[in-house]
Amino acid sequence: MSIQKINKCRFSPQGVSLIVGMAQLLQPESATTDPRILRSRRMLMDALARLLMKKEFEEISVQEIADEATLNRATFYLHYPDKNALLQAMTGVRFRDLIERRGITFTGCNGALRAIALGVCDYLVKTTGCPSQLARIPLEGSIIPAVADMFKEGLAHHEIAPGVDAALLATTAAWAVFGAARRWFQTPNRIPAEEMAVKIETMVSPVLFGASQ
């Protein structure tokens, strides 16, 4: 079963059953986007990737990205408000590709959280250990927003307790996942990524879902 066909999951905190579509958060939002828009976005992402092979992200301008993509500056702004948004979009695509290549399937909400945690572990290994353009990407500013957006999409299907800021909750959980995964990556003789993903799931699940009614 592919990630796009994962069944909806059921989460029952405090005896209340919630039918949610958290698995949908692993599907790219651009799945049904106009092909012309997808093509332009892909050209911009590829252009940024090529430029990252030559210089640091902070040194790259929007105009350089547009020129490298053979598009004009106005076209860039039709798709992204700034280069940081493009970087986050590119990171999201790479992140989802990693999960897709893993062939991960799951049926529960925690399974979705575990898949995301495993994807972050994979991302750190492939990014930090790569001498190419990936090593030039500022990790915190790229992967954390991508993970937070996934969590926000998932939380939108939950009834959140009054007074809880869903965006803040998603960001907190994203930082927790990233921090644990980075600590794992920096540990000598680390355990397999799959085992670490289970540990992250156990630690972060109460944070992410504890605010659900």
Along the 213 residues of the chain, how does pLDDT read in single tens digits? 333 332 333 333 332 222 233 334 444 444 546 889 999 999 999 999 899 888 888 899 999 999 999 999 999 999 999 998 998 888 878 777 776 776 654 445 657 888 889 888 988 887 765 544 455 556 666 788 878 888 888 788 777 888 889 899 999 999 999 999 999 998 999 999 999 999 999 999 988 877 765
Evaluate whether 28 touches 42 at the Cβ level (below 8 Å): no
Burial of 13 (0-12, 13-18, 19+ CB in 10 A): middle
Nearest to 117 by CA among 102, 129, 130: 102
- Count of structural domains within the chain: 1
User: Tokens at residue 174, please?
Assistant: 């994203």
- Whole-structure pTM value: 0.67
CATH number, position 16 = 1.10.357.10
Task: Indicate the SS3 state at residue 11.
Answer: strand
User: Tokens at residue 54, please?
Assistant: 């030559």
Residues 45 and 27: their CA atoms lie apart, in Å, by 18
Residues 49 and 69: their CA atoms lie apart, in Å, by 11
Task: Give residue 94's Cα distance to chain centre.
Answer: 8
- The amino acid at residue 27 is Q
Which residue range(s) make up the domain with 20? 3-209
Measured CA to CA in angstroms, residue 149 lies from 2, 51, 59, 100, 187 at distances of 21, 26, 26, 18, 28
Nearest to 111 by CA among 209, 13, 203, 22: 22
Measured CA to CA in angstroms, residue 34 lies from 26, 41, 43, 87 at distances of 20, 11, 14, 21
